[in-house]
Homo-oligomer: A and B are copies of this chain.
């Protein structure tokens, strides 16, 4: 086993979308008193781990993502580093540390990433008993400063989704406009006019209609689209060159 860097960790806020709600992947943390069976700790945490000796911090995040979802090459972006000395000082966290990780530093700095995955691609064997998708609108009690992390990640996601086409990372390759709209509505926690949304998206040349229809729960079957990063990158460059 490779050795860890004692005072340095990464945490990943992994977002997924299930056609209805925006979820985050959390792991249940439970601790029972061995004699009485009393539940001493019962809360949730993000997916995280210490950085290994000789490992790039970004690679540590990729490793955590691969370990917990079985996925690589997916959207992953560092958004903030949490470095307060008191971030591990809540009673639950102190108890957990004392019993499970006694040699870890008292001041662990955590570099935090957010990730967007098509949750249908997360392999079932990685969704084991302690890890599950939880709606961001209904967060349970969280360990450490992980609630703050999720809130901040969500804020980042909301800001970024206006300017960059990252929403598609949360959907299957092929999607309908209703699905895309439901995604935006879930992330922004608002409702969007269907017709204006259609108009806006149809102007985006990088959202490409296929010669394919799909029957959803609607009466009428709906057009299927894909997102093309190639087209996006090209049209984006044009835009930039025009503004100069």
Residue pairs across A and B with Cβ atoms less than 8 A apart, 23 shown, are A5-B7, A7-B7, A8-B8, A8-B109, A51-B109, A53-B107, A54-B85, A54-B107, A56-B84, A56-B85, A57-B81, A57-B83, A57-B84, A57-B109, A58-B83, A78-B80, A78-B81, A81-B81, A81-B111, A83-B111, A109-B111, A190-B243, A190-B244
> Does A38 reach chain B (CB closer than 8 Å)?
no
> Does A141 reach chain B (CB closer than 8 Å)?
no
Q: How many copies does the complex hold?
A: 2
Chain A positions 26-61 with a Cβ under 8 Å from a chain B Cβ: 51, 53-58
A residues touching B (Cβ–Cβ < 8 Å)?
A: 5, 7-8, 51, 53-58, 78, 80-81, 83-85, 107, 109, 111, 190, 243-244
Across the interface, which residues of B come within 8 angstroms of A56, CB to CB?
83-85
User: Taking the nearest CB of chain B, how far is it from the CB of A82, in angstroms?
Assistant: 8
Lowest 8 CB-CB distances: which A-B pairs, in order? A57-B83, A81-B81, A56-B84, A81-B111, A56-B85, A54-B85, A57-B109, A56-B83
